[in-house]
Structure 1
Amino acid sequence: MISISKSAQVSRLADIEDSKFGTSILIEDRVYIDSFVRIRPVGGRGDVRIGKDSFINAGTVIFSGNGVDIGQWVLIAPNCTLAPTNHAYASRERTIRHQGFLPSKGGIVIEDDCWIGANCTVLDGSLLRKGCVIGAGSLVRGEVEAYSVNSGNPLRKTGMRGD
């Protein structure tokens, strides 16, 4: 089920797929979704919520997987990937495609007032605390401290907002 607030702005060129498995996609008030953003309900049965006044820039792909919860006033720059799922791959006797998915690490939670720079990847089990900044090209796994500034692969804290 897809629910888009009347005050949200979704580009005609965005691709928001409806789920065949009951995943819900909720886009709240005054959210802006740019062209070529893709939201795909695959890789699990988690829901996607994009909180009020958030901005998802062009080329970003959000997989539902084990769930994505984006808070209010979140900025996601172009060409990011939010992938809250992991393929199983242990068996050599079956193709990876036929092994399904690993258990959830908790999905992705992005609290209010975060900024994710261009070309970042955010993985299952990531928790971005309120007000954190993720520099362009970074890989996010695990918890990120509130109001911290971070970048790289592996992700490293480089400062704090307001310092």
Structure 2
Amino acid sequence: MIDIHPLAKVSALADIEDSVRGTRIIIGAYASVDSFVKVKPAGGNGDLIIGERSVINSGCVLYTGNGIQIGNDVAIAANCTFAPVNHAYQDKSRRINQQGFLPSRGGIIIEDDVWIGANVVILDGAILRKGCVIGAGSLVRGEVPTYAIRAGNPLRHIGWRQ
């Protein structure tokens, strides 16, 4: 089910696939989904909920997987990937594309007033607390505290033990 608030702006060039498993895609009032954003229900049965006044810029890909909750007033720059799902891979006797998925780590939760820079990858189990800023090029897979600032650095993976 796709539910787009009448006051939301979704580009005609955005590609939002409806779920065959009944998961919901909800876009709140005054939210903006730019051209070439791809929403794909894959790898789970979680909902995608985009809060009010949140902006998703061009080139972002959101796999619904185990669910994505995006709060209000969130700014997401271009070319970000949201992947709240993990492929199973341990059974060497089976091809990887036939092993299904690992259990959920909780999906992706992005609280209100978060800024996500360009080319960020956010993985299953990530929690971005209110007001945090994620620098361009970051990989996020854990919890980012309220109002924390994380600079993009390909050698530092946010949420991983260092």
With the shorter chain as reference, the TM-score category is over 0.9
2:94 and 2:57 map into 1 onto residues whose CA distance is 37
Task: Kindly report the root-mean-square deviation, in angstroms, between the aligned alpha carbons of the 2 structures.
Answer: 1.1
Question: C-alpha separation between the residues in 2 aligned to 1:108 and 1:156?
Answer: 14
The alpha-carbon deviation at position 78 of structure 1 amounts to 0.2
Residue 156 of structure 1 deviates from its aligned partner by 5.3
Give the number of aligned pairs: 157
| SS across alignment from 1:88 | coil
* Distance in 2 separating the partners of 1:36 and 1:156: 27
For residue 6 of structure 1, give the secondary structure of its aligned residue in structure 2: coil
Residue type of the alignment partner of 2:18: D
In 1: Cα distance, 2:119 partner to 2:108 partner: 17
Deviation at 1:139, TM superposition (A): 0.1
* Aligned equivalents of 2:147, 2:97: Cα separation in 1: 38
Confirm or deny that 1:100 pairs with 2:100. yes
Q: 5 Å matches for 1:114-133?
A: 114-133=114-133
Note the 1:69-108 alignment, pairs <5 A: 69-108=69-108
Equivalent residue number for residue 13 of structure 2: 13
Alpha carbons 2:144, 2:158 under 8 Å: kept: no
Among all aligned residue pairs of Structure 1 and Structure 2, give the percentage whose two residues are the same amino acid.
58
- What secondary structure sits across from 1:97 in the alignment? helix
Contact conserved, 2:138 with 2:158, CA < 8 A, in 1?
no
Q: Which of structure 1's runs of 4+ aligned residues deviate more than 3 A? A: none
SS of alignment partner, residue 109 of structure 2: strand
Is contact 2:140–2:158 with CA below 8 Å preserved after alignment? no
How many angstroms does 1:155 deviate by?
3.5
Deviates more, 1:147-156 or 1:72-81: 147-156
1: CA distance between counterparts of 2:25 and 2:113?
20
User: What corresponds to 1:146 in structure 2?
Assistant: 146
The runs of 5 or more residues in structure 2 that have no matched partner are none
Q: Secondary structure at the match of 1:65?
A: coil
- Per the alignment, in what secondary structure is the counterpart of residue 149 of structure 2? strand
Cα distance per residue 1:15-39 (max 9 Å; x no partner): 0000000110000100000000011
| Maintained 8 Å contact 2:59/2:80 | yes
